[in-house]
A and B are shown apart, each in its own frame.
Chain A
Amino acid sequence: MSLDTQLPLSDGAVSRTAPAEEPGTQMQRWAGHIPGELGIWIFILGDMCLYGALFGAFLYDRGADVDLFNRSAGSLHPTFGAINTMLLLTSSILVVYGVRSVRDGLSRRGPLLFRAAFACGLGFVVVKYLEYSDLLRNDLPPTENAFFTYYYVLTGIHLTHLLAGLCILAFLLRISRKAQIGPKDLRASESAASFWHVVDLLWVVLFPLLYLVR
């Protein structure tokens, strides 16, 4: 599965920078490795089921009144969405490098990267606040029509995930500042990072679905 192949590849990249480590042993160590613990993947896949159901329901209801959905989507500002997409993608990359720093024991770079990722996440919240208040000023509340109900529900649930994700980034920051990083810390940081990537992934699907699909 892709999960299994992902880490050996990323770890292969690490081995270029990590000193005195034979590539072969690293590959062996990560063969069949699941990032984080098994439970977090049950959680994440369960979470995706909700989004799968919601996307399905959105498309089904959209099919019933395509005009209304297109007209309503037209009153959103894709710029807000695009900025947020960039912010989340950037934060995800920062988290990837942050976890590598934790793994490689680079105690100074890790905290810096996680702080930057956290700032991107905060930026997302600020943009979302501006966007919501702009919509409400223009008299487009969740009860306006089916599209806006979905818009607020989907982005609202995502925002809740993101806020949980920010707490998790704070947790990652705490791990990265530890003097001694044990296998448990590494596993916890991989679990936490996986969750943050899901927050990013969901937004990458939400953005075109709500702002761009016509």
Chain B
Amino acid sequence: MTLRKVHAWTGWTGVWFTVGFLLACMPLLAWTIPPKLSPSDTPAEVKEFYVDHLTQIRAGAFIGMIASAFYYSWGASIAALLRRVENGRPPILTYTQLGAVGVAVFNSVLYFFWMAFCAFRADTIDPELLRTLNDFQFILLEFEVFPLSLWAVAIGMLILLDKSARPVFPRWVAWVNFWFAGLVMTGQFMIFFKTGPIAWNGLLALYWPAFVFFCWICVMSTMTVKGSRRENDAVGEDIDQQTYPGGLNPAEAGATLNGTPRVPAGVA
């Protein structure tokens, strides 16, 4: 196992997250994409759905929670790769990304947490309360889009500002990020409507943002895998000593440097 491989796998975690997330939400499990419920359902209908699907919803929440963990290694890998663009300067856009990763992971985790929470006592809870809890679940899923947009804008700007001979990502990837940033926002108005295309089961609040989101994840995952391989290849196995300011393990140093002890720059 080399660091190069591990780094490439962090790129793939985006795909794992996507697959796990969709699997958890799809019919047979939680039924939230596409949703079996709608904002205009009566409390009794909501309760009936929950009682009839208790095990599936809990299984969905379980899988989704596992999948959510892969979200942050993915987000962190993009930020880490693009960190090079800001080398020698304050890493503001990198930190912006890391903040966004935190918010996004929290949102995904809370979403599945809430799913499990709704199902926990669904058989004995007051239907009116259950409907409210269920609304919360969907608002949680769809309302948090602008923080995601700003994340993608930070990524896109770094890609466009990358003037190096070996860019981390191709330029067109920046435009995929801007596309995602602009068009995922159609869900933001879902809090005003209970029917139609902007209600939480509508085209603009659910399906379109989900489509844009998963396109974005797939493109960025592929590019992150490629990018991390390229970056690691460029550095090579014989990593410059400056990357180990603490000094190399003597055994390792002996093994890789043909017995010639090399003192890390700045340490001697």
Contact = CB atoms under 8 A, between A and B. Distances in A.
B204 A42 contact: no
B140 interface: no
20 contacts: A37-B171, A37-B175, A39-B173, A39-B174, A42-B179, A46-B183, A46-B215, A47-B183, A53-B207, A53-B208, A54-B203, A57-B203, A61-B197, A142-B193, A149-B193, A149-B196, A149-B198, A153-B189, A153-B198, A153-B204
Given A40-B175, A61-B197, A149-B196, 12 more contacts: A37-B172, A38-B171, A38-B172, A46-B183, A47-B183, A53-B203, A57-B197, A142-B193, A149-B198, A150-B197, A153-B198, A153-B204
Given A54-B203, A143-B192, A153-B198, A42 B175 contact: yes
Interface in A39-58: 39-40, 42-43, 46-47, 50, 53-54, 57
Contacts, number: 59
Given A37-B172, A40-B175, A42-B176, A50 B197 contact: no
Contacts of A39: 171-176
Contact of A157 (B186, B196, B212): B186
B178 interface: yes
B263 to A, nearest CB: 44
Contacts of A53: 203, 207-208
Interface residues of A, number: 21
A12 B169 CA distance: 35
A146 interface: yes
B192 A153 contact: no
Contacts of A38: 171-172
A164 B149 CA distance: 15
Interface of A: 37-40, 42-43, 46-47, 50, 53-54, 57, 61, 142-143, 146, 149-150, 153, 157, 164
Q: Is the interface of A mostly helix, strand, loop or mixed?
A: helix
Describe B's contact surface by its main secondary structure.
helix
Contacts of A61: 196-197
Given A47-B183, A53-B208, A57-B203, A143 B175 contact: no
A39 B212 CA distance: 16
A47 B203 contact: no
Interface residues of B, number: 24
Nearest to B203: A57
Nearest to A37: B171
A46 B180 CA distance: 9
A146 B199 CA distance: 11
Interface string B195-219: 1111000011001100010010000
B208 A50 contact: yes
B178 A43 contact: yes
Nearest to A43: B175
A149 B205 CA distance: 13
A61 B208 CA distance: 17
Q: 9 tightest A-B contacts by CB? A: A39-B175, A39-B172, A43-B175, A46-B179, A149-B196, A43-B179, A57-B203, A38-B172, A42-B175
A115 B144 CA distance: 37
A97 to B, nearest CB: 26
Contact of A143 (B183, B193, B212): B193
Contacts of B182: 47, 164
Contacts of A149: 193, 196-198
Interface string B104-133: 000000000000000000000000000000
Contacts of A50: 183, 186, 208
A62 B249 CA distance: 71
A101 B178 CA distance: 28
Nearest to A150: B197
B158 to A, nearest CB: 14
A146 B196 contact: yes
A212 B204 CA distance: 24
Contacts of A157: 186
A14 B197 CA distance: 45
Contacts of A143: 192-193
Contacts of A46: 176, 179, 183, 212, 215
